Amino acid sequence: MSGAPIGIFDSGVGGLSVWRQIVHCLPAESTHYVADQAHVPYGNRSAVEIQEYCLAIAEHLVSEGCKAIVVACNTASAVALEPLRQRFPQLPILGLEPAVKPAVQLTRSGVVGVMATPATFQGQLYRATVGRTASAVTVVEQVCIGLADLVEQGDLEGPHCDAALQRFLAPMLAAGADTIVLGCTHYPFVIEAIRRLVGPSMAVLDPAPAVAKHLADVLRQGALLAKSSAVAEHRFFTSADPEAFDRAVARLVGAQCSSEALIWRPGPLLRLASAPV
């Protein structure tokens, strides 16, 4: 079991920002990464739809023998983490939520900005975290419609991306935020552009390193860590175009891969031996 892969998924390429931290922190671990690009973005879909997609992806990862699952998507975690844990009680399943607590500890101005999708802000997980940890600060919630799509399209710099970011950042800057939480796993891929636009005095938080560290702890406690001598193997799956996904993986995290296609049928998610005709 300890030699089994870790399953990681997202609506698209965003979860690769978590994948790269996991691979960095746990170099002996193999991974299976699923990008549900047939349905990206998840952020403005209904909870029922997102849960259906997440359960099908998790079925796939479990059928591939994964020993743990990381829901590398704040939106999916917000609505599907509990249903996933109920369906697969035998597996450690980790989710992501916006890093509000560290931001509250860090802020000096008492104003924290959070960038996320509508579904994440509506989720109980986020609301409970804000209620529990952020009562003493002002939290400016910024819905970033279209930002995940820019990252999917590889539009990570230049005037178009800057204009969108400026629109999203303006209300947080106007409110006096000195700390910004990236509450969507797509956004770390534009962190350099964000830093350039907000200047060096703003803290911009990407939760991925903390998630990788938490995963390491969970695997250690469950005696699930791969042997340190193991040679890691990384496999990538997409529910859309495998060639476009291969290019995105190379561009975003520098990994060369030959991804495998997954196709949706009513009910299960099927793995294709060859590309769909």
Active-site positions? 73, 184
Q: Interface mask (CB under 6 A) for ligand DGL, residues 202-231, using x and -?
A: ------------------------------
Our CA dihedral for 129, 14, 217, 214, rounded to 10 degrees, sits at -20
Q: Which residue in 30, 185, 238, 239 binds ligand DGL (CB under 6 A)?
A: 185
Place of tokens 């999916």: 76
In whole angstroms, how close is the CB of 21 to ligand DGL at the nearest point? 14
Read off the tokens for 131: 């209620």
Read off the tokens for 226: 């791969």
How many whole angstroms separate alpha carbon 251 and alpha carbon 255?
A: 8
Residues 60, 82 contacting (CB under 8 angstroms)? no
Read off the tokens for 61: 């990862």
Question: Quick one: 14 or 242, whose CB is closer to ligand DGL?
Answer: 14
How many whole angstroms separate alpha carbon 36 and alpha carbon 148?
A: 13
Check binding of 11 to ligand DGL (CB under 6 A). Answer: yes
In whole angstroms, how close is the CB of 78 to ligand DGL at the nearest point? 8
Check binding of 239 to ligand DGL (CB under 6 A). Answer: no
Check binding of 179 to ligand DGL (CB under 6 A). Answer: no
List the one residue out of 91, 153, 87, 79 whose CA is nearest residue 117. 79
How many whole angstroms separate alpha carbon 190 and alpha carbon 144?
A: 13
Q: Interface mask (CB under 6 A) for ligand DGL, residues 26-65, using x and -?
A: --------------xxxx----------------------
Place of tokens 């520098």: 254
Check binding of 70 to ligand DGL (CB under 6 A). Answer: no
Check binding of 188 to ligand DGL (CB under 6 A). Answer: no
CA distances 47 to 16, 42, 142, 166, 201, Å, are: 23, 9, 20, 29, 37
The one segment of 25-33, 154-162, 180-188, 225-233 that binds ligand DGL by CB under 6 A: 180-188
Read off the tokens for 153: 């399209």
Round to the nearest angstrom and report the end-to-end CA distance of the chain.
Answer: 36
Q: Which residue in 54, 148, 164, 203 binds ligand DGL (CB under 6 A)?
A: 148
The count of residues interacting with ligand DGL (CB under 6 A) is 16
Check binding of 21 to ligand DGL (CB under 6 A). Answer: no
Contact positions vs ligand DGL (CB under 6 A): 10-11, 14, 40-43, 73-75, 117, 120, 148, 184-186
